[in-house]
Structures are given as C-alpha cells and as structure tokens.
C-alpha cells in the first residue's frame, strides 16, 4: 500500500463505518479502483483501521463509556452482541460462502437501499430517546437485527438503526445505540484480524512500513469518523434515512457496473470479511 492508498481507504472507512451505507461495499469499490483489492495486507488494513473509528465513538461519548456506576449500560451492550456470536457460530459455513462475493455485496446494498426508502413509514411510534428507558429485551432484539450485517453489503449501522426504530427508539438514539454497539463488535473484529495475521502472516506485522501505515490509517479514520458521527446525527434528525437509501441504490449500480467492466471480479475469495462476521470468528477462537 502506498501512502495515497492509506489516506484514501482511511477516509473511506472513517466516513462510511457509522453511516447506513456499508463500509464493506465502499472498501471493495475503493481498493478495486486503486488496484490493491487482492493484497493480503489491504485485507488486514480494512479491518484493523476500524480501531480508529471505534476510538472516535469512545471519545465522543466518553461520559457514557466511563460511567462505571451504570452497569446496566454495559450489560445491554453485552446482551446485544450475543446474537451475532451465537448465530454466527451456528451458521459459520453458510456465511463463509458469501464472504468473497461482490455480487452479494451489491445485491445487499440494493435491497437495503430500497428498504431505507420506506422504513420510516413503517415505524412511526419512536418515543424512546435515552438508554435508561430501553429494556434489555429491546437491546437483545437490536442484537438480532445486527445479525443481518453478516451478509456483506448490508451495513451493520443500517441493520442496527432499523432495528432500533423497530423497537421504538428515536432516530437520534437508534443511531447512538448503533454507535455504542459498534465498540464491542469492532474491538472483537479487530482483535481477531490481528490474531489471524500474527498466526498466518507474521511477517506483515514485523514490517515497519506496515506498522506505520496501520498507525496513520487509524489516526485518519479516528478524525474523519468523529466528523462523520457528528454530521450524521444532525443530518438524520433533519432528513431521515431516505437519502441513504437512494445513495445505496446508486452505489449498488456502480458495483454492478465495475463487475460488468471486469474491474471487480464477480467472485473474489480475498474480499475482507465484515466486522460482524469477524466477531463470531473471534468467539470461536475463545472457545
């Protein structure tokens, strides 16, 4: 990876990770256009760079994450992560079949985009605007929605925000809880990917250039993600999810076009797994 590649992918990660538009889909587009989509270090980078995005959430909501008197907050996050761990473990072989398919990514972007066009008309009784008013049962339900993000291109953010709306959370709080849930999910994903790289390709983590790329990439993703989160909350409250649905449909069409042109292979076994998929793999290591 060149420094230009690093900067571009880091910006893409920072912008897309917390928006309901699929960071996986955008990473595929960006890395393929730059001609680095099949590089093993790129696949490591695309997951590990999420650490910077994670830290942006922790910093922006530090009072929430470091208020150790609110044990129910941590418990709700743990409960919400469980479905991805359990169902992912049970469906591991089925999920693995879809990981290398840009066709699946584009299709999921398209279907998700159509859903976002109309989703807010289905869920209109959104009154829960604070974590203390959300029950453990609702947290678990949102966790089951997150399982949908195991399909590449679905978007973990989109799945959990829609799940929040379905559980009567307001737009703002649905987005915030999606951010909160990203922290344990993406920490697990990053940890697993680093473990996998250390086990299978230790030379990548011994290379000083690679370590500098990971460090700079995380710093850029951190700054960009902070801006993206603040902007997204304001935009979502004012405009809703419809515009993201339109954008997803356009992005899906662009991926299909790139596949038609041969720039992206229709089936690429080297496409990086989504963060949610990496979570269940991390769980399997711990067992």
pLDDT score of 280: 47
C-beta of residue 230 within 8 angstroms of C-beta of residue 77: no
The backbone region for 267, taken as left when phi is positive above 0, alpha when psi lies in -120 to 50, beta otherwise, is beta
Alpha carbons 175 and 144: distance in angstroms, whole number: 16
| pTM of the entire predicted model | 0.85
pLDDT score of 287: 31
pLDDT score of 270: 47
pLDDT score of 58: 93
pLDDT score of 113: 96
For each of the chain's 287 residues, which pLDDT tens digit applies? 889 999 999 999 999 999 999 887 888 788 878 888 667 788 788 888 988 998 999 999 998 888 888 889 999 999 999 998 888 777 766 665 655 578 888 999 999 999 999 998 888 888 899 888 999 999 999 999 999 988 888 899 999 999 999 999 999 999 999 999 988 877 877 887 788 788 888 888 888 998 999 999 999 999 999 999 999 999 998 889 999 999 999 999 998 998 888 877 766 544 555 555 555 444 433 33
């Amino acid at each position: 990876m060149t420094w230009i590649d690093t900067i571009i992918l880091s910006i893409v990660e920072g912008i897309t990770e917390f928006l309901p538009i699929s960071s996986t889909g955008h990473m595929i587009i960006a890395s393929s256009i730059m001609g680095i989509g099949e590089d093993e270090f790129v696949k490591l980078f695309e997951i590990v760079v999420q650490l910077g995005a994670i830290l942006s959430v922790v910093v922006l909501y530090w009072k929430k994450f470091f208020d150790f008197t609110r044990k129910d907050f941590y418990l709700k996050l743990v409960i919400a992560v469980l479905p991805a761990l359990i169902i992912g473990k049970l469906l591991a072989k089925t999920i693995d079949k879809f990981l290398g398919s840009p066709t699946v990514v584009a299709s999921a972007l398209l279907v998700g985009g159509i859903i976002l066009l109309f989703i807010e008309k289905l869920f209109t009784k959104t009154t829960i605007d604070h974590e203390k008013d959300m029950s453990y049962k609702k947290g678990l339900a949102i966790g089951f929605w997150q399982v949908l993000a195991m399909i590449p291109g679905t978007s973990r953010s989109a799945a959990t925000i829609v799940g929040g709306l379905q559980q009567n959370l307001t737009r703002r709080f649905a987005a915030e809880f999606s951010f909160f849930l990203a922290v344990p999910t993406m920490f697990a994903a990053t940890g697993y990917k680093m473990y996998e790289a250390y086990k299978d390709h230790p030379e990548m983590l011994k290379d000083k250039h690679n370590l500098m790329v990971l460090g700079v990439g995380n710093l850029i993703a951190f700054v960009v993600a902070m801006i993206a989160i603040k902007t997204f909350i304001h935009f979502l409250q004012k405009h809703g999810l419809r515009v993201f649905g339109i954008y997803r449909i356009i992005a899906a069409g662009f991926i299909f076009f790139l596949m038609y042109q041969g720039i992206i292979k229709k089936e690429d076994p080297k496409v990086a797994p989504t963060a949610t998929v990496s979570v269940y793999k991390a769980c399997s290591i711990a067992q």
